[in-house]
Amino acid sequence: MATSKEVKKVTTHTLQNMKASGEKISMITAYDYSFGKIFDHAGIDVILVGDSASNVMAGHETTLPITLEHMIYHAQSVIRGIDRCLVVVDLPFGSYQSNSEIALASAIRVMKETGAHAIKLEGGDEVVESIKRIVSAGIPVMGHLGLTPQSIYKFGTYAVRAKEEAEANKLMVDARLIERAGCFAVVLEKIPATLAKDVTEELKIPTIGIGAGSDCNGQVLVMHDMLGINTEFRPRFLRQYLNLNGQITGAIQQYIKDVKSKDFPNKNEQY
Tell me the catalytic residues. 189
From the list 33-41, 43-51, 94-102, 125-133, the region that binds ligand KIV by CB under 6 A is 43-51
Binding residue for ligand KIV (CB under 6 A) from 50, 81, 123, 140?
Answer: 50
| Cβ proximity to ligand KIV, 66 vs 134, nearer residue | 66
Stretch that binds ligand KIV, among 12-20, 45-53, 155-163, 260-268 (CB under 6 A): 45-53
CB of 149 to ligand KIV, least distance (A): 7
Contact between 31 and 49 under an 8 Å Cβ cutoff? The reply is: yes
Asked whether position 29 contacts ligand KIV by CB under 6 A, the answer is yes
74 and 55 in contact (C-beta within 8 Å)? Answer: no
Q: Residues 207-236: x/- map of binding to ligand KIV (CB under 6 A)? A: ---x---------x-x--------------
| Residue 75 interacts with ligand KIV (CB under 6 A): yes or no | no
Please, are residues 96 and 106 in contact by the beta-carbon 8 Å criterion? Answer: yes
Q: How far is the CB of 100 from ligand KIV (least distance, A)?
A: 21
For residue 50, the minimal CB distance to ligand KIV (Å) is 2
Cα 80 → chain centroid: 17
Residue 90 engages ligand KIV in binding (rule: CB under 6 A): yes
Q: Which is nearer to ligand KIV, 179 or 189 (CB)?
A: 189
Give the Cα separation of 163 and 126 in Å (integer).
Answer: 21
Closest CB to ligand KIV among residues 52, 106: 52
Determine contact, residues 243/255, Cβ cutoff 8 Å: no
Strand, coil or helix: what is 120?
strand
Single-letter amino acid, residue 16: Q
**Contact set for ligand KIV, span 174-213 (CB under 6 A):** 187, 189, 210
Query: How many residues bind to ligand KIV according to rule CB under 6 A?
Result: 11
Instruction: Spell out where the chain has E strands.
Output: 25-29, 46-49, 86-90, 118-120, 141-146, 185-189, 207-210, 218-221
Gap between the Cα atoms of 186 and 215, Å rounded: 14
CA count, 13 A, side-chain hemisphere, 99: 1
Please say whether the beta carbons of 230 and 186 come within 8 A.
Answer: no
Residues interacting with ligand KIV, by CB under 6 A?
29, 48, 50-52, 90, 187, 189, 210, 220, 222
